[in-house]
């Protein structure tokens, strides 16, 4: 029988951090896509997508910095 892994994987840490950090940007982008889904055009939600992408990039950078400071950044991110 396999035991559950107690440490959090880097991907799970990123998912946890980005969903709490970038939720407002994701919501705005999602609403834009939803509003334009019947008439989607190139760059129709470009500004919203760029802001969401920038937030995710910043979240990754912050997670890398936190990882260097703390061996288990999940506690730091809460």
Q: What are the tens digits of pLDDT across the range 45-71? A: 999 999 999 998 888 888 777 677 665
Q: List CB contacts of 69: < 8 A, sequence separation 6 or more.
A: 76
Residue 4 lies in a domain: no
- Mean pLDDT, range 30-52, rounded to an integer: 92
**Domains of the chain: total:** 1
Residue 55 lies in a domain: yes
Residue 22 lies in a domain: yes
Residue 64 lies in a domain: yes
Report the pLDDT value the prediction gives residue 1, as an integer from 0 to 100.
46
Residue 70 lies in a domain: yes
Q: List CB contacts of 7: < 8 A, sequence separation 6 or more.
A: 72
Nearest-angstrom CA–CA distance, 67 and 78: 14
- For the full predicted model, state whether its pTM sits above 0.75: no
Residue 3 lies in a domain: no
At which residue do the structure tokens 């129709």 appear? 44
Domain of 54 in residue numbering reads as 11-37+44-77
Residue 2 lies in a domain: no
Distance of CA 34 to the CA centre of its chain: 19
């Amino acid at each position: 029988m396999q035991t559950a892994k107690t440490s959090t994987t880097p991907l799970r840490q990123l998912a946890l951090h980005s969903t709490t950090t970038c939720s407002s940007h994701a919501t705005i982008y999602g609403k834009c896509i939803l509003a334009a889904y019947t008439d989607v055009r190139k760059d129709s939600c470009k500004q919203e997508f760029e802001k969401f992408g920038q937030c995710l990039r910043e979240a990754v950078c912050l997670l890398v910095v936190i990882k260097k400071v703390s061996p288990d950044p999940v506690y730091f991110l809460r």
